[in-house]
Structure 1
Amino acid sequence: MAFATDKLIFGPDDVDLSRSPLAGHFAAETYVLGAFNPGLARLPNGNLLMMVRVAEALVQPIDDGHVRCIRWSDGRFSLDAWPLALCDTADPRKFLVRGGAWRVMALTSLSWLLPVELAPDGLEVIAVHYDRAIAPHADFQCYGIEDARISRVGERWLMTSCSVSPERHSTTLYSSLDGLDWRFEDIVLDHQNKDMLIFEGQIDGQYWAQTRPLGDLYFAYPPDSPWRAGPSINLATSPDALHWKPHRRPGIRPHADTLATARIGGGTPPILTDAGWLTLWHGVEPKEIVGIYRTYWSLLAADDPARVLRTDHAPLLEANPVLTRPLEDKIYVRDIVFSTGIADGGDHFIIASGEADLACRITHIPKARFGL
């Protein structure tokens, strides 16, 4: 479905790498592989803030028979070199290290978070706050910080992000009193729980969140079940947003008869409407290495988010090659839209997405599209 307001607002050419947290740490030249998957929040001044994931990569990752990756350690960024003969480099976003009993990978880029302030409608960049960029600061973030999601709960802004390291693939929490200056809180979820979205509001004094644990093994549903085994969107509750307990009942599960959502995960933080919690999520249809990413939506009961009131199996957003045509020389994956932020725009919602793992896309979607 096409929307009247739909544009790329920020991309690789808009990042000044001379002001990157990685600048000056090693001699190798870098470039912006992607500036994408932005968290979104309304600031006290009415402007919007995108927390953009900047994936910074080496211009020459392969050198002298080795493939190199960037790593943070002891306050500095440095390069590791892996023998090319041990590595599978088919996926441009990562490489697999062969020879072990487990799937082991390293990234071809290191991600950090860049605050980009937009006009109230999200259609103009007002300022880029390099002085407030968030970069790795601990061993559990040594391969980067990815995919911020921002929620306003009471007087605080809460931001989850994925911190990547050999120690764990964890969810880390940041908080802010103004939506712009962020304080690191702690690790809140452990290994491979990649899409944690905190609800924008509490239920009976409890924080709620969507989670999406990953694994290589899933148990089968009965043959006649409407559900497909695999990654699903789960729920968790917390008294303080730091200590989380998995909810007993499942959240949103992939349907057995819908191949386009064979794998699903969270997208935008659930936002409360008169009809319930509106949540946008992503479905991945298998195709080649990466798959086709689309955005879908569901409505959850206001007092019980485990109860799904409505789900639309038609995609809300799909990748738009018209938008990325001016960036054709930079494209390395296709068929991906990954919605990561939502804000109220009056008679419409402002949706922030990552397009092609490359740039930030802003779309205005009328509330009537959701029956609101």
Structure 2
Amino acid sequence: MGKWEKRVAILAAGSLVTGVLFLGAGALAGGVQDARNIYQEEQDRQYKYQLKMSEVSTIDVDLSSAIFEIQTGNVDKVEVSYYQKMGKERFVFEEDSKTQTLKVTDARNSASKTQSTTDMIRFFSYLASERDYNRDKVIITIPKGTQLKDLTVKIVDGHLFMRQLKADNLNIDSYDVLTSLVNLQVNKAQLAIHDSSLDMEKTQIESGEMLASDSEIDSKDNSIKNFNISGTDSYIGMDGKVENLEITNQGGSIDFSKGTFRGKITVDSVDAPVTFADFKDKEQYQLDLKARDGGILHNDTYIDDAWEDSEEESSESLSHNPTNPLAEIRVRTQSSNISLNDDSDILE
């Protein structure tokens, strides 16, 4: 090959590389939306799974890198729709008419969390956009008033949405998942939340337990009874009516907001401050609070006169014993504070 031929080849190769880089830069900058639109056209192709069973009492889901939604609607029977890219069998649906069970699983290797692709536009779009653009989705709609026997969802790296559901047993096992539970009525719940976020709103749980690690638990206007929470490095927020609750948490924090308490409330925390915000009716609660290597605060002010003689050093205690208390609240903290925030004169 002559010198001029080599120069042309080098120039062509350089132009190719430069073009690819400019293509990527264009997608990352001004061309991102176009790349997203191309992908979205493919992503938004909707399919329907024709359910053979007339009724479903048990739903079992095991997915990764996907969005799963289940809700009630104005339908006569259970409906299943899903979104996936063209030409790709993404989900597997199985039915067992004897047990009235619908099972939804991944058709691909569940260990693969990110979608690999050689398409340059989609590749740069993936780098420039949220990971959610590369997620497929399953939506299950059940008739209003349906009481599910068992609802089990195991999901990794995705989103989980549940709305207006009734279930005897609810089981959720999530890792790296954003979960939203709204208007649920559950007799027994078993929740495992890892490296995830969980939002609960207007949800009723009669009994159960939760295991949370490196997660954020938020709640609003719920009714939780006979429930145990075990947390590690997690934020645990409770709001609404709480009856017979036990929480243990190491690291993170525990926050009761606008809580109404009944029965026995027990909290044990290490390196996790405990806060009671808008602590209404506290005069009617029996309080047994002790902070070791920490303090007890009322409206952000340390309670100096709450110190009591104790064999343990650096231990601060506070007790309140009304007649016929509405609830018994026992809190133990180590290396963290207990805060009571309100506008009452409970400590006077």
Q: TM-score when scaled to structure 1? A: 0.22
More helix by share: 2
More strand by share: 2
Q: TM-score when scaled to structure 2? A: 0.23
Larger Rg: 2
